[in-house]
Amino acid sequence: MLNNEELNRLYQYGLSLCQNEDRAYDLLQSSLEKYLSKDLSIEHPVAYLRTMMRNRYFDEQRHRKLQLVKQDELKEAEDAFKSLEDVYIEQEQIGQLLQALDDEERELMFLWAVEEYSVQEVANMQGKPKGTLLSKIHRLKQRLTAKFSNFLEIKSETSL
C-alpha cells in the first residue's frame, strides 16, 4: 500500500493547503478512508490521494464560505431588526415631541422638516412674512432642545 515516506509527503501536502496541522491530519485521514473504501487498484495512489485531498479541501472551503455568507445574512437580519426597534422608539419620542407643539407649530414643522418646503414656500402658503416663520422655527428649536435634550443626546450617540 503506502509507506511512511509517502504518507508524510501527503501530510505535508495537506499542511501546505490547510496551514493547520489538525486539519491536515483530518484531510489526509478522510481521503485515505475514502480511497480504501473504494478498493481500487490505481497505478499512482499518491497522485490520486493528492487529488482527493485537494478536492476535499476546496469543497470544505466552499462549505465554510457558504456558512460565513449565511452568518452574514443572519447578522444583517438581526441588525435590521434592531433598526426597527430604534425606529419604533424614535417614532414614540417624535410623537412626544409633536404633542408638545400646538396646531400651528405642528403644521409649520411638518411643512418645513418633513415635507422639506423652504421657509419662503411655507411663508407663501400661509401668507406670513418669512422672518416671522424663521423666528418661530428658531424659538421652536430652542424650546424643543431644552425640553427634550435627553432625547436629542441619545439620538446623537446612536448616530455615531
Statement: the pTM of the whole predicted model exceeds 0.85:
no
Which has the minimum average pLDDT: 10-19, 119-128, 141-150? 141-150
The residue type at 48:
Y
Q: What mean pLDDT do residues 61-74 have?
A: 77
Is the CB of residue 26 less than 8 Å from the CB of residue 15? no
What CATH code would you report for 100-158? 1.10.10
What pLDDT does 26 receive? 92
Q: Please, what is the Cα angle at 17 between 35 and 70, to 5 degrees?
A: 95
pLDDT at residue 160 is higher than 50: no
* Residue 42 backbone dihedrals phi, psi, to 5 degrees: -115, 140
pLDDT digits (tens, 9 = 90+) for 122-139: 899 889 999 998 998 888
DSSP secondary structure string for all residues of 72-102: HHHHHHHHHHHHHHHHHHHHHHHHHHHHTS-
Q: How many CB atoms lie within 10 A of CB 10?
A: 22
- The residues, ordered by sequence, that sit 6+ positions from 4 with a Cβ below 8 Å of its Cβ are none
Domain borders along the chain are 4-68, 100-158
